[in-house]
Amino acid sequence: MSDQQQRRDSWSRYWAGGALHSCATSFDGNYDDAIGEFWRAVCAPLRGGERVLDVATGNGALPRMLVDLLGADGRLPGVDAVDIADIAPPWLGQLAPELAQRVRFHPRVAVESLPFADACFDLVISQYGLEYSELDRGVAELLRVMRPGANVALVLHHVDSLPVRLGRAEVLEIDWLQQTGGLLQRAKRLIPYMARLATPAGAASVQRDPEAAKARSQYNEAMRELQQRAGTTDASDILFETQAAVGELMQSVAAVGAAAAQARLDGIREGLQLARLRQAELAAHALDADAVARLCRRFAERDGLACVVGELRVRDQLFGWSLRTT
């Protein structure tokens, strides 16, 4: 599998889980607080005749916000939303037909290669998305599809923000879980012994087997280490989620058999690998002040667009950059 295919698969699986946005563990439902205030200000001038492009939309947090803010009074613009992943937001099917027909999702579309004509959008928006593209090519495509007088509004990952710090921490914890001699490897070693517990004879043989006792001891030790480690990291969620998944799996081995249990363990490992890819990508593409300044200079090449840049804080935590052209 190529890096691009792996990236698409990782995000497709994430969005298929139903999360509305990429900070699902930090917010219930859609964004609120400073991020919501930023987008409400962006939406305020819209009157319904515009055409809006949402880049790297995921499950459509921004189109959904546009619907919620503007749909009731007839000001919902035409929205095209693109993402590299296979996306099919479940909420779209719950809208009234007159609203749903104004929102179009385009899966498997990269920012660097947009399937739209020149000069067709009045507003381009993106929330934690544009920075994942090759920025020179991505911005060139945005400028190409923007009409004269069009504007851009972005929320971007900040190198010092809470989501980025958590992403870096999660990568470290996933690496710890998957290391040689780590929890997943010790669980794999224990599975054959747990499978023998399905019969009285097998259970008796396990009781007499010193290797079985050693495997169980090492597995229990890894679980204790996880519990201790969870108290020292900002990414304890990934540890506890894995602990629960592996613990449930081990309890089912005797019933499902060694082969099925191993397949489930492989699924846990694959899920961790995909999560690692997403979090590593997040950290790698977060922007510092110089990168945001370069981005503003690129937009200034188009009709002298001026950028207003700010730092978004939610619950006293830095959550990203805001960027809006005028």
Strand, helix or coil for residue 126:
strand
In tens, the pLDDT along 104-149 reads: 999 999 999 999 999 999 999 999 999 999 999 999 999 999 999 9
pLDDT band at 18 (very low <50, low <70, confident <90, very high): low
For tokens 């139903």, name the residue: 18
What residue numbers bound the domain in which 62 lies?
3-161+286-325
Region 31-36 average pLDDT: 81
Question: What are the residues facing 311 on neighbouring strands?
Answer: 321
Asked if 144 and 179 sit in the same domain, the reply is: no
Are both 153 and 291 inside the same structural domain?
yes
Q: Same structural domain for residues 244 and 311?
A: no
The one-letter amino acid code at 67 reads V
Please tell me whether residues 50 and 198 are part of one structural domain.
no
Confidence of residue 32 (pLDDT cuts 50, 70, 90): low
- Tally Cβ neighbours within 10 Å of residue 134: 12
Q: What is the pTM of this model?
A: 0.88
Single-letter amino acid, residue 188 = K
Residue 314 amino acid letter: V
Task: Tell me the pairing of strands 103-106 and 121-127.
Answer: unpaired
Name residues whose C-beta falls within 8 Å of residue 147's C-beta, 6 or more positions apart in sequence.
Answer: 119, 120, 121, 122
Judge whether 59 and 81 are in contact, CB under 8 Å: no
23 and 148 together in one domain? yes
Same domain, 168 and 269: yes
Domain tally for the chain? 2
Residue 85 to residue 110: CA distance in whole angstroms: 9
238 and 253, same domain (yes or no):
yes
| Residue 312 and residue 270 in one domain | no
User: Do 168 and 317 have their domain in common?
Assistant: no
pLDDT per residue over 285-326, tens digit each? 999 999 999 999 999 987 788 999 999 999 899 999 999 998
Residue 52 and residue 105 in one domain = yes
Domain at 149, CATH number: 3.40.50.150
Given a cut of 80, whether residue 77 has pLDDT beyond it is: yes
Chain mean pLDDT for the chain: 92
Do 110 and 30 fall within a single domain?
yes
- Structure-block tokens of residue 254: 């005797």
Question: In the structure encoding, which two tokens stand for residue 17, read together?
Answer: 């889980």
- The confidence score (pLDDT) of residue 24 equals 45
Long-range contacts of 4-7 (CB under 8 A, 24+ apart): 6/274, 6/277, 7/84, 7/277, 7/281
Q: Which of 14, 272, 54, 315 is nearest to 161 (CA)?
A: 315
Note whether 7 and 153 are same-domain residues. Answer: yes
User: DSSP class of residue 260?
Assistant: H
